[in-house]
C-alpha cells in the first residue's frame, strides 16, 4: 500500500469528525471546590490564580465555597483570568453568580459562587434559602438550563456545613429539596459541596438520622471511601455530590463522579496544591443531549468508513 496516495483532505475530514464526536462524548461537567478562604490576597497570587483557572475552566459549572469576597474583587480577578482571550481555555467565556456573605460570626462570613460557561448553560432562577437557624450558611439555590444535557433544567443546591453540625445540616437538605422543588416545579435537584460527610463528623450510625440517606430517591455519587482531602494524614470523603430521582440519575454519565486530583494531572507539588486549598475538587459529568448523542456514533462510523474506503482506493 502506498500511503502517499492516501487523500489528505479525506484524512483531515475524518480526523475532524472524530474530534467533534469526542467533544460530544466528553459531556457536561459540574464541579464543586472548597477553595479555603479564597479572598483578594489569594487572587493576587499569580501562581495560585493560574492553577485555579486551569481547574475551573474544565467545568461547565463550578461551585466555589469558602469565598471571602464581599466586594467581588477576587472573583473578578478569577473571571478575567478565565476570560483572557487566549486559545488555552477553548473559547468559552465565563460568568459568575454569587450569594451574599453568609454565616453566624462576623469573622467567618462566606459566599457560595457558581462560575459557569455562557455558551453552554444559562441561569434561569436563583434564591437564597432561609432556614431559620437550620444552617450556619443557608444554601444559595440556583436553577440552570442547558440544551447540552438530557434534563435541560436542573437545580443546584450548595452546602458548606459547619463540621460539628454536619449530620443535622445534611439532613435538613431534605427540607430545602421540598421547598425548592415545589417553588420551581422541578425535582431535578443536585446537592453539592463540602458537607464534612465523613470521618469524625459523620459515622455509619449517623446515616439513619439523615433523610438524604434513608430515602432511596437520593443517590450519593461520591462514595464514602473517596478521599477529598489533600494531605496524606487524612482520608475523608468530605466533599459530596448527591442527586434526586431517576431522571437526574439517568442523565449522569456512569462512573464519572470522582475527585479531581490536579496534583497528579498538573504534576504539582503538595505545597503548590495546598496553596490553593486543603481540599481537592469533586466533579461529575452529565450525558450529552439526545441530539448530540445520536449524532456521535454516526459521525464516528462515517469517518471510519471514509478511512477504509480511501485505503481501498489507495491499493
Ligand atoms: C440560553 O438562553 C437563551 C435565551 O433563552 C437561548 O437562546 C440559549 O440557547 C440558551 N443557551 C443554552 C446553552 O441553553
Ligand atoms: C459551628 O457550630 C458550633 C455550635 O453551634 C459553634 O460553636 C461554632 O462556632 C460553629 N463554627 C463555625 C466555624 O461557624
Ligand atoms: C409541573 O411539571 C410537570 C412535569 O414536568 C407538569 O406536567 C405540570 O403541568 C407542572 N405543573 C405546573 C403547576 O406547572
Ligand atoms: C421516592 O419518591 C416518590 C415520589 O415522590 C415517593 O412516593 C416515594 O415514597 C419515595 N421513595 C422513598 C423510598 O421514600
Please give the number of the atom of ligand 1 that sits closest to the Cα of 147: 14
What would the mean pLDDT of 222-244 be, rounded to a whole number?
Answer: 96
Q: Are residues 237 and 137 part of one domain?
A: yes
d(CA 296, CA 267): 32
What mean pLDDT is reported for the chain? 89
Q: Indicate the pLDDT class of residue 131, thresholds 50, 70 and 90.
A: confident
What would the mean pLDDT of 3-22 be, rounded to a whole number?
Answer: 53
d(CA 257, CA 284): 4
Q: Are residues 216 and 102 part of one domain?
A: yes
The fraction of the chain above a pLDDT of 70, given in percent, is: 83
Q: Are residues 292 and 147 part of one domain?
A: no
Q: Write the CATH number for 82.
A: 3.60.10.10
Q: Are residues 199 and 131 part of one domain?
A: yes
Structural domain boundaries, residue 50: 28-287
Centre of ligand 1 to C-alpha 117, Å, is 12
H/E segment holding residue 223: none
Question: Which residue, among 46, 4, 40, 51, has the nearest Cα to 276 in the 3D structure?
Answer: 51
Centre of ligand 3 to C-alpha 152, Å, is 15
- Give the other-Cβ count within 10 Å of 186's Cβ: 17
Nearest residue CA, atom 3 of ligand 4?
A: 217
Give me the torsion for CA of 43, 193, 31, 112, rounded to 10°: -40
Nearest residue CA, atom 14 of ligand 1?
A: 146
Whether the model pTM is above 0.85: yes
Q: Are residues 191 and 126 part of one domain?
A: yes
Q: Are residues 279 and 155 part of one domain?
A: yes
Q: Are residues 185 and 96 part of one domain?
A: yes
For residue 217, the ligand closest to its alpha carbon is 4
Specify the higher pLDDT residue, 7 or 83.
83
Which range is least confidently modeled, 2-11, 45-54, 120-129, 169-178? 2-11
Q: Are residues 228 and 253 part of one domain?
A: yes
d(CA 179, CA 147): 25
d(CA 17, CA 15): 6
Specify the higher pLDDT residue, 301 or 228.
228
Q: Which residues line ligand 4 (CB under 6 A)?
A: 215-217
Which range is least confidently modeled, 14-28, 96-110, 132-146, 176-190? 14-28
* Ligand 1 contact via 121 beta carbon (within 6 Å): yes
pLDDT tens by residue, 56-108: 999 999 999 999 999 999 999 999 999 986 655 567 999 999 999 999 988 89
Number of domains in the chain: 2
Q: Are residues 127 and 259 part of one domain?
A: yes
- Give the other-Cβ count within 10 Å of 124's Cβ: 14
Centre of ligand 4 to C-alpha 245, Å, is 9
Centre of ligand 2 to C-alpha 166, Å, is 11
What would the mean pLDDT of 130-153 be, rounded to a whole number?
Answer: 93
Q: Indicate the pLDDT class of residue 299, thresholds 50, 70 and 90.
A: low
pLDDT of residue 22: 47
Q: Indicate the pLDDT class of residue 52, thresholds 50, 70 and 90.
A: very high
Which range is least confidently modeled, 161-170, 208-217, 279-288, 301-310? 301-310
- Check whether 178 has a pLDDT greater than 60: yes
Residue with cell 441561569: 123
Q: Indicate the pLDDT class of residue 21, thresholds 50, 70 and 90.
A: very low
Q: Are residues 303 and 235 part of one domain?
A: no
pLDDT of residue 118: 95
Taking the alpha carbons at both ends of the chain, their separation in whole angstroms is: 5
Q: Are residues 46 and 194 part of one domain?
A: yes
Q: Which residues line ligand 2 (CB under 6 A)?
A: 104-105, 108, 136, 162, 164-165
Q: Are residues 175 and 56 part of one domain?
A: yes
Amino acid at each position: 500500500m502506498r500511503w502517499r496516495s492516501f487523500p489528505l483532505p479525506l484524512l483531515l475530514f475524518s480526523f475532524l469528525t472524530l474530534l467533534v464526536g469526542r467533544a460530544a462524548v466528553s459531556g457536561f461537567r459540574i464541579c464543586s471546590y472548597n477553595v479555603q478562604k479564597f479572598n483578594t490576597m489569594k487572587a493576587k497570587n499569580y501562581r495560585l490564580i493560574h492553577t485555579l483557572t486551569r481547574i475551573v475552566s474544565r467545568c461547565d459549572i463550578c461551585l466555589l465555597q469558602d469565598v471571602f469576597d464581599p466586594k467581588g474583587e477576587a472573583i473578578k480577578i478569577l473571571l478575567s483570568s478565565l476570560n483572557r482571550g487566549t486559545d488555552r481555555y477553548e473559547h468559552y467565556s465565563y460568568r459568575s453568580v454569587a450569594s451574599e456573605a453568609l454565616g453566624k460570626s462576623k469573622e467567618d462570613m462566606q459566599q457560595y459562587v457558581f462560575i459557569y460557561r455562557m455558551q453552554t448553560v444559562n441561569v434561569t432562577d436563583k434564591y437564597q434559602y432561609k432556614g431559620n437557624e437550620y444552617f450556619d450558611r443557608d444554601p444559595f439555590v440556583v436553577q440552570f438550563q442547558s440544551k447540552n444535557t438530557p434534563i435541560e433544567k436542573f437545580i443546584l443546591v450548595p452546602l458548606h456545613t459547619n463540621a460539628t453540625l454536619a449530620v443535622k445540616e445534611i439532613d435538613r437538605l431534605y427540607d430545602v429539596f421540598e421547598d425548592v422543588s415545589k417553588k420551581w416545579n422541578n425535582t431535578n435537584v443536585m446537592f453539592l459541596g463540602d458537607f464534612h460527610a465523613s470521618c469524625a463528623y459523620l459515622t455509619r450510625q449517623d446515616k439513619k438520622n439523615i433523610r438524604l440517606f434513608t430515602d432511596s430517591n437520593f443517590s450519593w455519587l461520591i462514595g464514602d471511601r473517596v478521599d477529598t482531602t489533600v494531605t496524606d494524614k487524612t482520608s475523608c470523603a468530605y466533599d459530596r455530590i448527591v442527586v434526586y430521582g431517576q431522571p437526574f440519575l439517568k442523565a449522569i454519565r456512569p462512573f464519572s463522579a470522582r475527585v479531581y486530583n490536579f496534583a497528579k494531572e498538573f504534576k504539582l507539588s503538595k505545597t503548590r496544591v495546598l496553596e490553593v486549598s486543603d481540599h481537592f475538587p469533586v466533579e461529575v459529568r452529565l450525558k450529552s443531549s439526545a441530539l448530540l448523542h445520536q449524532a456521535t456514533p454516526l459521525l464516528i462510523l462515517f469517518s471510519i468508513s471514509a478511512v477504509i474506503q480511501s485505503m481501498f482506493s489507495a491499493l
